[in-house]
Amino acid sequence: MRTRKVNMIISLVTIMGGMALVVACGQRNATTVIEGDAAEQVYIAPGEYDEFYAFLSGGFSGQITVYGLPSGRLLREVPVFSQYPENGYGYSEESKPMFNTSYGFVPWDDSHHIELSQQNGEFDGRWLFVNGNNTPRIARVDLSTFETVEILEIPDVAGLHCAPFITENSEYLVSGTRFSIPIPQKDVPIDTYKENFKGLINYVSLDQDHGTMELAFQIEMPGFNYDLARNGKAVSHGWSFLTTYNSEQAHSLLEVNASQKDKDLMAIINWKKAEEYVAAGKFTERPTSYYHNLMDESTGIAHSQEMKMTRILKPEDCPEMVYFIPVPKSPHGCDVDPSGEYIVGNGKLSADMSVYSFSKIMKAIEEKNFDGEIEGIPVINYDAGLHGILQKPGLGPLHTEFDERGNAYTTFFISSEVVKWNVDNLEILDREATFYSPGHLVIPGGETRKPEGKYLVAMNKITKDRYLPTGPELAHSAQLFDISGDKMKLLLDFPTKGEPHYAQAIRADKVKPNSKKFYNIEENAHPYATLGESKTKVVREGDEVHVYMTAMRSHLAPDNIEGFKVGDKVFFHVTNLEQDWDVPHGFAIQGATNAELLVMPGQTKTLLWEPKKVGVYAFYCTDFCSALHQEMSGYARVSAKGADVPLKWGLNETLRENQEQAEKFYEQLENKSK
């Protein structure tokens, strides 16, 4: 009888609690949240520019997107890890090598974390780096052209989630394996995880003049899951901090089995020390295979090189290089404040957040204040390294960014909010609801020594009712907040592409002045470039036919070609002869089984066409370039295999019989115009 009464009371409380939740949710709608002059703050008048560029990773789209802040306008999508038929990236002969990996041609990836290059702990606007999670890779985008110019595979890791975090002078990109695996790969039972599985932390060095990446060394770590990282800055420059989860070393049903321990670990790496060990030859060389794909600036052609050796540092051979410190339950983000003194370790399943002090960690290391060791790595006493605990800030803390006024902003996935708190005194200052469930957040310069705490963008994982519905699949939603005052203020929702994980934002004037308007044709060293209409030609080499074609308003030259045969491999090398801003030409031909080409002024790009059927096929310019764009077209005649139709090509008048006559014709044409 008594238990029934208790049960009834519990039920009643539950129902009332549920109702309270429903009521609370009902109050959370946009109309009650937006106040004051929000529209005016995000309105960029026609012809005016945004104050910041924001680069958002594209998640499962594999690309990155460029937005203007505060308007939230999408400026461009830059293809990185996925083929992009829109401009031929990954389909053109020049860009295909970008996708070469030790697994072959991989035309998709899952891009996660954006890192802009830095000097003295500030963004310099030169390059952008982003990781591919599934086939472990790091890409470099040149911010003068917004083009992907390099992709480096990282060997012997699985799920390169913990990447590519940059040091304050762009010395290194630090990354860690998300999943530990047998190293080298071998055929072993999965339940031998604890004996056979290892994790690698990777240091990729950057050439300071060209940004070229090189895998400098890898550190072999216990078989945990390495999740996220940050490098020290200012006082903590020379150190890296990486969170781990699954220190339980579970290999199945991780949601339960990797969530058992009260504390996981943060790895603390002295990379200056690691450099010394590498210089002293304390590494072991291990044969492996990974690809380095680099675009040649003068030809625009990407070349792949298979690398076959990696240098491994083992913590047990290299004392004072790696430490651990406990972090509450399953940490995710690991963020260093602008001073470099405080490190925030967010335990995503913990009710509290631990904030560490770099100077205390250094003191603990000096005093050898360790609680044992794991595989030769000392574990620093938790309390000795702790600055303090942020008590009950919210549910499911994920990521933290900072402003220049000593405040931190943390996203809470489960309670769906951003919480502002003071780093020094650990006092909670403000909280704002987000719609819904934010993952990463970004403040311009929010991970550097010089944040600009004017705006904050929360990248939400769930969209639901924020926009007109578009069927079951919805765009992920981002939300812009004004954080310049004491209270955060919601200004704007905007839809995003793919699933943005991290983003970085930079003041526009650090990027805009360097943005190229076109490629200088005098610097075009492409082996199939056609620098002038008089040099257009068609050359047969067995079954391969090379068409040296030019594009200029408003014709392609040559525009009539005969003598192709079924079974040929035809390479259209299209050079855009224009030298003006915003005059790309496109090229598409019927029957092509790949994509189109979009050729920027001064560039040469190549499309492979393999005609399968006899006939006459049209080709044309796909980018509306001029008043006579619709006339910018031509025909390719395909004859039967073995037919004796001679190769002829030309523009205007009749077809020229051969190359010599064609050249003569074009020369006359050019002279006439003089």
Q: 100-101 and 302-313: which strand pairing?
A: unpaired
Counting contacts by CB under 8 A, is residue 578 touching other proteins? Answer: yes
Q: How far is the CB of 551 from other proteins (least distance, A)?
A: 12
Cβ neighbours of 39 (radius 10 Å): 10
Of 214, 427, 580, 667, the one binding other proteins by CB under 8 A: 580
Residue 13: which residues within 8 A CB-CB, separation 6 or more? none
Q: Is the CB of 401 or the CB of 578 nearer to other proteins?
A: 578
Q: Using CA atoms, how far apart are residues 236 and 339, in angstroms rounded to an integer?
A: 9
Number of residues interacting with other proteins: please give it, by CB under 8 A.
Answer: 11
Q: Which residue stretch of 117-125, 200-208, 539-547, 578-586 sits at the interface with other proteins (rule: CB under 8 A)?
A: 578-586
Q: How far is the CB of 553 from other proteins (least distance, A)?
A: 5
Q: How far is the CB of 653 from other proteins (least distance, A)?
A: 12
Residue 502: which residues within 8 A CB-CB, separation 6 or more? 57, 112, 113, 114, 399, 440, 442, 459
Q: Is the CB of 613 or the CB of 674 nearer to other proteins?
A: 674
Q: Using CA atoms, how far apart are residues 128 and 141, in angstroms rounded to an integer?
A: 5
Cβ atoms of 183 and 133 within 8 Å: the answer is no
Q: How far is the CB of 130 from other proteins (least distance, A)?
A: 32
In the region spanning residues 511 to 570, those forming contacts with other proteins, defined by CB under 8 A, are 552-553
C-alpha closest to that of 98 among 333, 291, 270, 258: 291
Q: Using CA atoms, how far apart are residues 45 and 615, in angstroms rounded to an integer?
A: 52
Q: How far is the CB of 396 from other proteins (least distance, A)?
A: 48
Counting contacts by CB under 8 A, is residue 261 touching other proteins? Answer: no
Q: Using CA atoms, how far apart are residues 526 and 517, in angstroms rounded to an integer?
A: 19
Q: Using CA atoms, how far apart are residues 226 and 200, in angstroms rounded to an integer?
A: 9
Q: Is the CB of 5 or the CB of 674 nearer to other proteins?
A: 674
Provide the token pair at 35.
């106040």
Q: How far is the CB of 512 from other proteins (least distance, A)?
A: 14
Counting contacts by CB under 8 A, is residue 2 touching other proteins? Answer: no
Q: Using CA atoms, how far apart are residues 209 and 224, in angstroms rounded to an integer?
A: 36
C-alpha closest to that of 63 among 46, 40, 42, 79: 79
Q: Which residue stretch of 10-18, 112-120, 177-185, 576-584 sits at the interface with other proteins (rule: CB under 8 A)?
A: 576-584
Q: Give, for 220, the enclosing helix (H) or strand (E).
A: strand 213-221
Counting contacts by CB under 8 A, is residue 425 touching other proteins? Answer: no
Counting contacts by CB under 8 A, is residue 31 touching other proteins? Answer: no
Q: Which residue stretch of 223-231, 348-356, 503-511, 625-633 sits at the interface with other proteins (rule: CB under 8 A)?
A: 625-633
Cβ neighbours of 241 (radius 10 Å): 27
Q: Using CA atoms, how far apart are residues 598 and 240, in angstroms rounded to an integer?
A: 41
Q: Is the CB of 347 or the CB of 650 nearer to other proteins?
A: 650
In the region spanning residues 136 to 175, those forming contacts with other proteins, defined by CB under 8 A, are none
Cβ atoms of 176 and 223 within 8 Å: the answer is no
Counting contacts by CB under 8 A, is residue 674 touching other proteins? Answer: yes
Q: How far is the CB of 673 from other proteins (least distance, A)?
A: 5
Counting contacts by CB under 8 A, is residue 316 touching other proteins? Answer: no
Q: Using CA atoms, how far apart are residues 242 and 232, in angstroms rounded to an integer?
A: 11
Counting contacts by CB under 8 A, is residue 628 touching other proteins? Answer: yes
Q: Is the CB of 381 or the CB of 626 nearer to other proteins?
A: 626
Termini Cα distance of the chain = 108
Counting contacts by CB under 8 A, is residue 579 touching other proteins? Answer: yes
Q: Is the CB of 143 or the CB of 551 nearer to other proteins?
A: 551
Residue 399: which residues within 8 A CB-CB, separation 6 or more? 332, 333, 335, 346, 410, 411, 439, 440, 441, 502
Residue 417: which residues within 8 A CB-CB, separation 6 or more? 394, 411, 431, 432, 433, 434, 438
Q: Which residue stretch of 246-254, 447-455, 493-501, 575-583 sits at the interface with other proteins (rule: CB under 8 A)?
A: 575-583
Q: How far is the CB of 674 from other proteins (least distance, A)?
A: 5
Q: How far is the CB of 537 from other proteins (least distance, A)?
A: 22
Q: Which positions from 630 to 659 touch other proteins by CB under 8 A, shown as an x/- string?
A: -x----------------------------
Cβ atoms of 171 and 213 within 8 Å: the answer is no
Q: Is the CB of 356 or the CB of 519 nearer to other proteins?
A: 519
Of 627, 642, 653, 654, the one binding other proteins by CB under 8 A: 627
Q: Which residue stretch of 239-247, 347-355, 419-427, 626-634 sits at the interface with other proteins (rule: CB under 8 A)?
A: 626-634
Q: Which residue stretch of 31-39, 264-272, 311-319, 620-628 sits at the interface with other proteins (rule: CB under 8 A)?
A: 620-628
Binding site for other proteins (CB under 8 A): 552-553, 578-580, 626-628, 631, 673-674
